[in-house]
Amino acid sequence: MKNKAVIDALSALANEHRLAVFRLLVQAGPEGQPAGAIAEALDLPASSLSFHLAHLNRAGLITQSRDGRSLIYAADFTAMSGLVGFLTENCCGGASCAPVVAPTQKKRKAS
Amino acid sequence: MKNKAVIDALSALANEHRLAVFRLLVQAGPEGQPAGAIAEALDLPASSLSFHLAHLNRAGLITQSRDGRSLIYAADFTAMSGLVGFLTENCCGGASCAPVVAPTQKKRKAS
DNA sequence: CAAATGATTCGATGATACTGGAAATATCGA
DNA sequence: TCGATATTTCCAGTATCATCGAATCATTTG
């Protein structure tokens, strides 16, 4: 994964709404969701959502396909794993990060 | 890791210079590097670098400590692993991402 | 074709981020 | 204390990002 691609992906996810969209699509699985459903679930104006979807799409984190009038968006797991791979490569690859990742199972309800 | 913290970390890394700084510090290891050395290595004006270091520090990705006149910055591996943990939790936790992460080893240290 | 529907693009506005020189702060050594 | 060194803070100017209503585009249906 190129440096530029990593930055694009990071800045795409570095936004409240886009992170929410992405998580929603990850949960929705490979079948994805139409834009309208996302807008309703996240309570976002259509034009705003479209802006964010385009951003995520440009960054390669989600894919777009048409089904009739609806545009279906789905998370691109390959890109996601590439990003995580890049981060772990630069963090855990050499050092003390890896062992810390696993125990992150605790479900805390911090505000 | 809270949602807000994740966004802070992502947006901190979503910048060419800050990502470079962070990678440099990761490579530098727990001992870190003084601001001046970072500025020279990355060829950044002191005031610009200071801005970025403050940003990374606010996001919890790096730590600051003083050694004489020098301020030493070091990567915070815990925060980093928290971020990676969050991302994998939302990606690989449920699906097909995990298997892709592991094989990302071209040059690996003795296991 | 025309109407209805799902979604994008346009455009103006406000907010936030980045940059880097100059001035200020902190520390060390003589 | 003075001067040199390491960094930060201040400030302004510039650039980029986010918002969302209105207009537009694409598709289906009658």
Would you call A90 an interface residue with chain B, using a CB distance cutoff of 8 Å?
yes
Residue A28 lies in a domain: yes
Q: How far is the CA of B64 from the C1' of D25 (A)?
A: 53
Residue A95 lies in a domain: no
Q: Quick check: A17 and A52 in contact, CB under 8 A?
A: yes
Residue B37 lies in a domain: yes
**pLDDT for position B92:** 56
Identify the H or E element spanning A93: none
Which pLDDT band holds residue B106 (cuts at 50, 70, 90)? very low
In this prediction, the residues of chain A whose per-residue pLDDT falls under 70 are: 1, 90-111
What CATH number has the domain bearing residue B76?
A: 1.10.10.10
Residue B52 lies in a domain: yes
**pLDDT for position A90:** 65
Tens of pLDDT, residues B38-87: 999 999 999 999 999 999 999 999 999 999 999 999 999 999 888 988 88
Q: CB atoms < 10 A from the CB of A105, how many?
A: 7
Identify the H or E element spanning B35: helix B35-42
Facing residue for A100 by CB, picked from B30, B78, B100: B78
Which pLDDT band holds residue B90 (cuts at 50, 70, 90)? low
- Give chain B's domain count: 1
Residue A97 lies in a domain: no
The DSSP symbol for B63 reads E
Question: Which of B65, B84, B62 is CA-nearest to residue A91?
Answer: B84
Residue A83 lies in a domain: yes
Q: How far is the CA of B40 from the C1' of C29 (A)?
A: 24
User: How far is B82 from B78, CA to CA, in rounded Å?
Assistant: 6
Spell out which residues of A between 23 and 82 contact strand D, using CB within 7 Å: 44-48, 51-52, 55, 66, 68-69
B103 pLDDT above the threshold of 70:
no
Residue nearest to nucleotide D5 (CA to C1'): B69
Name every chain A residue with its beta carbon within 8 A of the beta carbon of B101: 81, 84-85, 88
Looking at residues B21-27, what average pLDDT do you find? Answer: 95
Q: What domain range is A53 assigned to? A: 3-89
Facing residue for A81 by CB, picked from B10, B83, B101: B101
**pLDDT for position B102:** 34
Residue A64 lies in a domain: yes
Q: pLDDT averaged over chain B?
A: 84
Residue B36 lies in a domain: yes
**pLDDT for position B81:** 87
Q: How far is the CA of A54 from the C1' of D10 (A)?
A: 37
Partner-chain contact B84 A95, CB within 8 Å: no
